[in-house]
A and B are shown apart, each in its own frame.
Chain A
Amino acid sequence: MLNRIDRLARVAVVVAAAALVSATSSFAYEGGAVSGGGTIKGMVKLNGTAPEPEVLDVNKDKKVCAVTEKKSNELVVGSNGGIRYAVVSLTNISKGKAFPEGESVLDQEGCEYLPYVTVVAQDHELVIKNSDGILHNIHTYSEKNKPVNRAQPKFKKKIKETFSEPEMIKVTCDVHGWMRGWVAVADHPYYAVTDENGAFELTDVPAGDYEIKVWQEKLGESTQKVSVPGGGEATVTFELAQK
C-alpha cells in the first residue's frame, strides 16, 4: 500500500513536472481527439545488398534457449529489400492523437526479447515479462534515462520499469550474452516499427507539414519532410545505406 501511495506520489510529481514543462515549453506533447487527420504510409529500404544475418551462439541454458536457431536482428532485410525493426517517428509534433490504451509489454521468451523493438510512452510503465522460468536480467544502456540492471529470477513473472526521457535504449541480458533488444521511449504516439517488409504506417496525423525520422541500430538516422493532407495519405520512402 505504502508503495502504491509512493508510486502515486511519484506519478503526481511527474504529472506536475510535465504540466510545468508544458506551460513553458512548446515541445511537450498534447494528446486528444483528432478529426480529419491523414495517414503517413511508407517503407524503409536498404540501399545495397542485404547481409546474411549472423547465427547467434546459444551457449547456455540450452534446454530453454536453444529450441530454435537464433539469428541476429541487428539488420533484418526482407526479400523486397525492406528493413525490419527500423523505428519511424515524427520529430516536431506537439499536438495530435492520444496515446493508445493498453500497456506496453516486453517479453523474454526462449531467451529472446519479444518484440525486438518495444515502443513505450515516456512516464508510462513498461511491463517486462519472463516467460522462460530461468534467470534473466534487464540491463539497459541509456544516456538520458538512468541505466538499470535488474535481475528477473524465475519466480518474478512480471516487473515494471518507467522511462522519463525519449530515447532509444539498448537492452541486454548479462546471463545470456546473445540477448539483445531495444526500447523506444516515445514522447508522442506517432512512432512505428517497420514490419518484415520494411513497411510502416502512422495514422490520425493532423494535417500539416512534418519532419519524419527513421532510426536503425546499424545504419543510423535519416530525416525527411512530409506534408499530410487532411483525410488523405502521404507516402514516404527511406533508403538507408551501409556505413
Chain B
Amino acid sequence: MSKADEEKKSYASVFLLAVALLLVTSVWIVWDDQISRRPWKKYQYEFSQTQIERAKAEVSAEEERLGADEEYQKVLADLEAARDKTTSGATASQLSELASKENKARVAFDDAEFNLRLVKSQIEEAWYELEHAQLAHADTTSQRAHLDELNAKKAEVEEEVAETLARLNQILSEQDEIRSVVDSLEKKKEELEGAKSRLEQKVDGMVIQVGPFDFPKIPKIEQVVLNEFDRNAYNQPVARVDRCTSCHAGINKDGFEDLPNPYKTHPDRRLYLGKHAAEKVGCTPCHQGQGAAVNSAEQAHGHVKYWLDPMYEGDNVQASCIGCHADVRMDAAEKIALGEKLFEQVGCIGCHLVEGYGDLPKIGPYLGRISAKVDADWLVDWVKNPHEYRPRTKMPNFYFDGDEAEAIAGYLLSASADESEAWLGEHDLPSGIDSGNAALVAEGERLVDSLGCRGCHGLAPGESPALLGEGKDIAPNLSNIAEKTNARWAYHWVKDPRGYSPVARMPSLRLSDQEAKAIVSYLMTLGEAATDDSATRARLLEADNVVIGEALVRKYGCAGCHNVPGMESESRIGVELSVFGSKPLEELFFGNRTDIPHTWEDWTFNKINEPRIYETERIEQVMPHFALAESDIDAILTFLASRQEGYVPKEYRPSDYDNEVTLVEGRRVIERYNCVGCHVVSGRGGAILAHYEENPTLGPPILTGEGAKVQANWLYGFLQRPVPLRPWLEVRMPTFGLSDEETAAIVNYFAAEEKIDNPYVHVDLASLSPEYVEAGELLASDDYFSCWTCHQQGDRKPEGPKEGWAPDLAMAYERLNPNWIVDWIKDPQALMPGSRMPSFYDFTDDSPDGPDDVLGGSDLEQVKALRDYILTLHAPTGAVAQPAVATDAEESAPEPAEMPSEETAAADSSAASEAQG
C-alpha cells in the first residue's frame, strides 16, 4: 500500500465503533455501579414511597375527619363570620374609625413626649445658668424664677403625656376587643388542626420538595458502627458495621407489620428493639449474617460460601441471647433457656466438654455401693435398656446386647463389692418393716403424701410432679421401686441419703425410725418385689465377665455421669462442643447417609434423635439414645448453635451482668436439689402445690421475693439447719447437707432476684424508741389488733388448732428484714396474694385506719411502732435503752431508697437504726 493510499484511508468506522463501545461501556459502568450492584436502593426507594403514601393517606384521613368534625366546622364558620365582620358592616366602620383615632392619638402622644424631652433639656440649661451665677456670686433670683417656671411647665407636659398615652391605650384595647374574637377562634382552629399539621410535618420530613412536586429522598447506605465489637486475626478490637437497615428500612418503625420483607416492621418490635437499642447494637449481634454486605441479599444474610455465621433461621436466633446474657430465663428466650437447662441436666455434660459448663457435678447416682442397693437381675435389665423400667428416666439407652449388659453389671457389682460389704456391715435390716401390715403401709403412704416426697417423686405409673423438658423425670418415679431394691437399703437411704451416697441430691427429711419403717413398708408394696438374685450375682461376678465389663464401662464413658469405683480419673469420652455452633459443614461426618440434607441443623438434629445414625461398617459410634421429644432436641440444637467462637465485649452486655451470673449460679443449686419441686421461686415451680389446691396455706411457702423478706445470715443458717417455722405444716423442709458454697449461692440468688445489694440490715435494739416499742405493744394487744390470737411468741402459743396459727414473732429479729416488716404490715396481700394475714391498714387512700389514740392516729407511725415492738420480742427485757441512743453509723446498713422519704425525722427515732448508713 502506498503512502498516499494510507493517508486517504478513512478510520471513521473504527472510531465510530470505538466511540460506540466506549459509550456502551460507560453506560454499563454507571448502570452496574449505581443500579445492579446497589439493590438496596430499590428497596429503600420503594419503602420510602410506601411510607410517604401512608403518611399522606394519614393526612387526608385526618383532613376527612376534620371535615366531618362538627366542632371544627363550627370554628371555621365562626372564624369566617368574625373576619367578615371586621372587613364590612358596622364593625368594619368602627374599626376604621378607631384606626384614624389611633393615628391622631399616636401623633398627640408623640408630640407630648417630644415637648417633655424639650422641657427637660431646658431645665438642664437653666440649672447650668443658676450654678454659673452662684459661682460668680451674682444675684440668682431671675435664674431661680426661670427654673421654677420650667419645672411647672414640665409637670404640665408630663400630665399631657400620661393623658395622651391613656387615650392611645384605650383605643388600642377597643381594637383588641373587636379583634379578640378572631384571635381566639384562630387559636382554636390551630389547636384542632394540631394532629393534621404534625402529620404534614412528618410528610415534609420524608420528602424533597421541588416546587409543587415532592420526591422520596435519595437512598443512601444506612449503617450502625459497633466500635470494638469484633476481634481481628491479631486479636485486636475492630469495629463491626451493620448496614441491614439500608434494605430493611421499616424494621424499626411501627405501622409496616403488613408489608413483606425487607420492608416490614420487626416482629414484637417493642420487646426486642425496646430492650436492645438498634442504633447501638445493630442487627448481626442477634441475627448473624454479613452485616456490611450490601450487594445482594445472599451476601448480606451470609448465605455464601466460606461465611461462617449465616443468619439464624426462626427461633434459633435465641442462640444469640446467651452470647451477651449470663441468665437467659427471660421472656422470648424460652427455647435457649430450655436448651441450656436440658444440656446441663439431661447429661450431655457428662461426655462433652463445653466451656463454662465443665465443672458441674455429675448428674447420675453414686455407684460406689451399688452392690448393696440393687437387685442383680434388675441391674442387668436396667443396663440393657433403662427406658423399659422407667420410660422417663434421664439415663440413656446404650443399645447393649444381653452379654454386654451382663458384663457391665458384673463389673459394677464387683468394683463396688468391698465398699458395699463395709456399708452393709454398719447398716442392718431393722425389725418392724412389714409390707404385709396394712396399717403400717397406710401410715407410710400417708407420710409419703404429706411430708413432701411428692414434690420430686411420682408414685403412680407415669405420674410426675414436674418434668424436665417434655418428658424426663427430675427424680425417679417410684411406682415399681420394689423390683429394684430392698427394704434394708431403702430404710437407711430414706433416713440418711448422704450416709449411703456422698453426692446424694435426695435430702434427709429427719425421719424418725418409725416413720422410716412405715415409709419403706409402703414403698416395698410398689411393684413386684425382687426375687432371690444370688445365682445371677454369682454368674455376673465371674472374673472373665467382670474384665469385659470394665472395658465396656470405660469405652462407653459411664464415669461421665456416675461415680464409678476404680474410674475416678477417667476423662470425658465425647468431643468438645465449646465452638460446635461454628463448626463448618465439611467437618460433620454424614457416614453413608444421603437422605439427610447437608446442613448443620439437619446433621445435629438427627445425631441427637438417633445417635448412631451416621455409623458405618468402619466407623463405630458410641453415643447413647436419650429418647428426647423433638421440641427438646430442637432446644438443645439452639443451645449448641450458640456455642461459637468470639466474645462479646463487656460494654455490649447487660448492665446487670454480674447480677445475672449470681442468678445462674444460685439457680443451678436450686435446681440440682429441686427446691422448686416444693417452692415457687421467682414465680416458677411449686409442683407439689397441686396437692394443696383446697388449702394452699398448708403447702410449702412461696419463696418469690424471699430476698427482700429475710435476713441473709438467718437464711444461710436455716438452709444448713432447717427448723420448723410453721408448726401447722405437715410438709417438712428437709436437710440437704448443702456445702458452704451451695448455701451461699442460694442466699445470693434470693438477694440478686430482688436486686438487693445488702441483704442484711442491722438493727440496734438499743436505739429503738421506747415510746414506739410501747405503742407497738399496745397495738399488738387484744385491745387493738389482737396479734396473739394467731401469732406465736416463743412458748406462748395461740388458742385453737395449729393450722390456725401464724409464724412466731419472736423470730422476727433474727429472721426478717425490718424494711420488709413495714411493707408486709402495710399490705400483706400485695406481697403474698392469698395470704391469711389480713391488712389492718389501707395505704391506698389518706384516711386513717388505725386507732386514733395511738401515736396521733398516724397509720405509718403505727406500722413502724409495730415493727419496732416485734423486733424487740426475742430480746431479754431491758434491751431497749432509756432514753434512745442513735446507732453507730458505720454499723448500720444502707436503707432501700423508698424508706427515707417516708421517715419524718424527729418523730421516728427508730429510723436511726437503719437510715443512718
- Residues 795 to 838 of chain B near chain A (Cβ within 8 Å): 798-801, 803-804, 828-829, 833-838
Residue from A61, A134, A151 whose CB has the most chain B CB atoms within 10 Å: A151
- The answer to whether B789 and A149 touch across the interface, beta carbons within 8 angstroms, is no
A3–B828 alpha-carbon span in the complex (Å) = 22
Closest to B833 in A: A147
Residue of A59, A137, A155, A175 most packed against chain B (CB within 10 A): A175
**Chain B 183-221 near chain A by CB (<8 Å), digits 1 or 0:** 000000000000000000000000000000000000000
Q: Does B846 contact A (CB under 8 A)?
A: yes
Which of B789, B803, B847 is in CB contact (< 8 Å) with A175?
Answer: B789
A71 within 8 A of B: no
Q: Chain B residues near A139 (CB, 8 Å)?
A: 836, 838
User: B residues within 8 A CB of A149?
Assistant: 828-829, 835-839
By size class, the interface of chain B is 20 to 34
Query: Is there a chain A Cβ closer than 8 Å to B845's Cβ?
Result: yes
Distance between Cα atoms of A137 and B789 in the complex (Å): 12
Whether A41 is near chain B, meaning CB under 8 Å from some CB there, is: no
Option from A2, A138, A155, A175 in Cβ contact (under 8 Å) with B804: A175
Q: Mask for A127-150, Cβ within 8 A of B = 1, else 0?
A: 000000011011100000001111
Closest to B785 in A: A153
Per-residue CB proximity of B573-585 to A under 8 Å, as 1/0?
0000000000000
Is there contact, CB below 8 Å, between A61 and B799?
yes
Say whether A154 faces chain B, with CB atoms less than 8 Å apart.
Answer: yes
Q: Residues of B contacting A153 with CB < 8 Å?
A: 784-786, 840
* Chain B residue with Cβ nearest A151: B838
Q: How far is the CA of A149 from the CA of B828 in the complex (A)?
A: 9
User: Chain B nearest CB: distance from A221 CB in Å?
Assistant: 21
- Please, which residue of chain A has its CB at the minimum distance from the CB of B847? A3
In Å, the complex CA distance between A238 and B289 comes to: 71
- Asked whether A157 is an interface residue with its Cβ less than 8 Å from the other chain, the reply is no
Q: Does B566 contact A (CB under 8 A)?
A: no
Contacts A147-B834, A149-B836 given; does A177 touch B789 at CB 8 Å: no
Whether a CB of chain B sits under 8 angstroms from the CB of A174 is yes
By CB atoms of chain A within 10 A, which of B784, B789, B838, B846 has the most? B838
Bound form: Cα–Cα A174–B799 in Å: 13
Interface membership of A6, Cβ < 8 A: yes
Question: Given A149-B836, A150-B839, A177-B800: A135 and B829 within 8 A (CB)?
Answer: no
Given the contacts A3-B845, A60-B789, A137 and B803 also touching, CB distance less than 8 Å: no
Partner of A151, one of B785, B800, B834, B845: B785
Q: Does B851 contact A (CB under 8 A)?
A: yes
Tell me the minimal C-beta distance from A50 to chain B in angstroms. Answer: 25
Which of A59, A61, A134, A138 contacts B801 (CB under 8 A)?
A: A59
List of A residues within 8 angstroms of B786 by Cβ: 134-135, 153-154, 175
CB-based contact B829/A147 at 8 Å: yes
Q: Give CA–CA (A3, B845) in the complex, Å.
A: 7
- Interface status of B165 (Cβ within 8 A of chain A): no
State A148–B839 Cα separation when bound (angstroms): 9
Which residues of the other chain, B, contact A148 by a CB distance below 8 angstroms? 829
Q: A32–B489 Cα gap in the complex (Å)?
A: 78
| Chain B residues, Cβ within 8 Å of A154 | 782-784, 786
The minimal Cβ–Cβ distance linking A2 to chain B, given in whole angstroms, is 5
- Cα distance, A61 to B798, chains bound together (Å): 10
Within 8 A of B (CB), among A173-219: 174-175, 177
The residue from B789, B804, B835, B842 contacting A135, defined by CB atoms under 8 A apart = B789
Q: How far is the CA of A149 from the CA of B697 in the complex (A)?
A: 14
**Residue B790 lies at the interface, judged by CB distance under 8 Å to chain A:** yes
A174 touching B800, Cβ below 8 Å: no
Bound form: Cα–Cα A6–B845 in Å = 8
Q: How far is the CB of A108 from chain B (nearest CB, A)?
A: 13
Supposing A153-B786, A154-B786 touch, asked if A177 and B803 sit within 8 A by C-beta, the answer is: yes
Q: How far is the CB of B844 from chain A (nearest CB, A)?
A: 9
Measured between beta carbons, the chain A residues less than 8 angstroms from B838 are: 137-139, 149-151, 174
A153 CA to B845 CA, complexed, in Å: 19
Q: Given that A2-B846, A174-B836 are known contacts, is A59 also in contact with B799, CB under 8 Å in the complex?
A: yes
Nearest B residue to A7 via CB reads: B845
Chain B positions 45 through 75: 1 when the CB is less than 8 Å from some CB of chain A, otherwise 0: 0000000000000000000000000000000
A59→B839 CA distance, assembly (Å): 24
| Minimal Cβ-Cβ distance residue in A for B851 | A155
- Residue ID in chain B nearest A175 by CB atoms: B789
Instruction: Give the CA-CA distance A175 to B801 in the complex, in Å.
Output: 11
Q: In the complex, what distance in Å separates the CA atom of A149 from the CA atom of B847?
A: 18
Kindly provide the distance from the CB of B866 to the nearest chain A CB, expressed in whole angstroms.
12
In the assembled complex, the CB of A126 is this many whole angstroms from the nearest CB of chain B, namely 16
Give the docked Cα–Cα distance between A150 and B804 (Å).
Answer: 17
Closest chain A residue, CB of each to CB of B800: A60
Q: A59-B800, A149-B829, A177-B804 are in contact. Are A135 and B834 (CB under 8 A)?
A: no
Residue of A nearest to B787 (CB): A135
Considering only CB atoms, which chain A residue lies closest to B803 in the complex?
Answer: A177
The contact string, 1 if C-beta is below 8 Å from chain B, for chain A 145-169, is 0011111011100000000000000
- Separation of A149 and B837 alpha carbons in the complex (Å): 7
Are the C-beta atoms of A135 and B800 separated by less than 8 Å?
A: no
Please measure, in the bound complex, the distance between the C-alpha atom of A88 and the C-alpha atom of B371, giving whole angstroms: 69
Alpha-carbon separation in the docked complex, A150 to B840 (Å): 6
Separation of A153 and B780 alpha carbons in the complex (Å):
11
B804–A174 CB distance below 8 A? yes
Residues on B with beta carbons closer than 8 Å to the beta carbon of A177 = 800-801, 803-804
Q: Would you give the shortest CB distance from B761 to chain A, in whole angstroms?
A: 26
CB-defined interface of B838-856 with A at 8 Å, one 1/0 digit per residue?
Answer: 1110100111000100000
B803 surroundings in chain A (CB, below 8 A): 177
- Report chain B residues within 8 Å CB of A59: 799-801, 804
User: A60, B847: Cβ atoms under 8 Å?
Assistant: no
CB distance from A65 to the nearest CB of B (A): 10
A89–B717 CA distance with the chains assembled, in angstroms: 57
Given A135-B785, A175-B790, are A60 and B840 neighbors across the interface (CB < 8 Å)? no
In the complex, what distance in Å separates the CA atom of A137 from the CA atom of B803? 16
Q: Would you call A60 and B784 a contact (CB within 8 A)? A: no
Q: Which residues of A contact B839 (CB under 8 A)?
A: 149-151
Interface residues of B in 329-357 (CB under 8 A from A): none
Complex Cα–Cα for A241 and B790 (A) = 39
List of B residues within 8 angstroms of A135 by Cβ: 782, 785-786, 789
Separation in Å of the A143 CB from the closest CB of chain B?
Answer: 12
B289 to chain A, nearest CB (A): 48
Bound-complex Cα distance A177 to B695 (A): 12
Please give the distance in Å from B12's CB to the nearest CB on chain A.
86
Q: A140–B324 Cα gap in the complex (Å)?
A: 46
Question: 1/0 contact trace for A93-116 toward B, CB 8 Å?
Answer: 000000000000000000000000
| Closest-CB distance, A85 to chain B (whole angstroms) | 22
CA distance A177 to B802 in the complex (A): 11
Q: Given A150-B838, A174-B836, output 16 extra A-B contacts at Cβ < 8 Å.
A: A59-B804, A60-B789, A61-B789, A134-B782, A135-B789, A139-B838, A147-B833, A148-B829, A149-B836, A149-B837, A153-B786, A154-B784, A175-B786, A175-B789, A175-B804, A177-B803
List the 10 shortest-distance A-B pairs measured between CB atoms, nearest first. Answer: A137-B838, A135-B786, A60-B800, A151-B838, A3-B847, A174-B836, A59-B800, A60-B799, A151-B840, A149-B838
7 A-B residue pairs with Cβ-Cβ distance under 8 Å, sorted by A, are A3-B847, A135-B789, A149-B839, A150-B842, A153-B786, A155-B784, A177-B804
